[in-house]
Amino acid sequence: MLSHFEWVARVIYREWKGSSQSIDRGHPSEEILVCFLEDKLAQPEKDSIRGHLLKCDICAEYLSTQLKIEPHLSKDIPVPLLEKIRKVIGNNIKDNIFKIFLKLKEKSFEIIETSGDVLVGQELIPAPVLRSRQINEFKEELSILKDLQEVRVLARVESKNSKVFNLFITIKDKQGKGINKDLRITLIRDGVELESYISDAENSVFENISPGNYSVEVTDKSGLLAVIDLKVRS
């Protein structure tokens, strides 16, 4: 039998839940959004939620948060909503660090973690959405793109075998989309500079790199533009 305190708490909870439903507030409740992400809603409800998310920044931001932390989400998410989510996630990241964490296998890579968008065919897909589709292994090469504060960075990793890989870095201007030249791109391991180049071509190439913890610093005359935090395990 419920105590007086438990009974009062239950009444208050029911009142609060009733006041927070989507009909009163104009937004789906958190429970409904979670059911949408887990693909547990009937088709008419799913269509209604999709329409609301494409118009509502508040609910889209909540969905973007869930996409960053949930490894198993509904696969049926419309492309315009993915673009909106990508924009919300991007706006919440204020630093200039591009994170890539990979596992190197024989002629393939497994993505453990990345803060960039992964190129699959001709489509750039955010890493959380890629996980929701259960795609994390790529043969021979892998391309990941990230917009930072002033530049767009494309990192292409090419597997030579299970012990070494090549790294190609392309830096483009976010506004003109042209290739940024006259930048210094430096490969660093454990605080020691291994290679450094002035970018005068489409790609800066670092060859025959063994697995480990690296950073790639991109600088110009004004200072540091970007840091690629690269971890590769074999």
> What is the third-level CATH fold of 97-233?
Immunoglobulin-like (2.60.40)
In DSSP terms, 172 is beta-bridged to 152, 179
Task: Note the pTM of the prediction, 2 decimals.
Answer: 0.58
Return the closest-CA partner of residue 192 out of 207, 214, 208, 220: 214
Phi, psi of 160 (to 5 degrees): -90, -45
Return the closest-CA partner of residue 146 out of 202, 227, 72, 81: 227
| Each residue's pLDDT tens digit, 55-74 | 777 777 666 665 554 444 44
Q: How far is CA 136 from CA 24, 73, 97, 139, 188, in A?
A: 41, 15, 21, 10, 26
- What are the structural domain ranges in the chain? 4-91, 97-233
| Each residue's pLDDT tens digit, 170-212 | 888 776 566 666 788 999 998 889 999 887 666 788 999 999 9
Inter-axis angle of helices 57-69 and 30-37, nearest 10 = 50
> How confident is the model over 129-150, as a mean pLDDT?
84
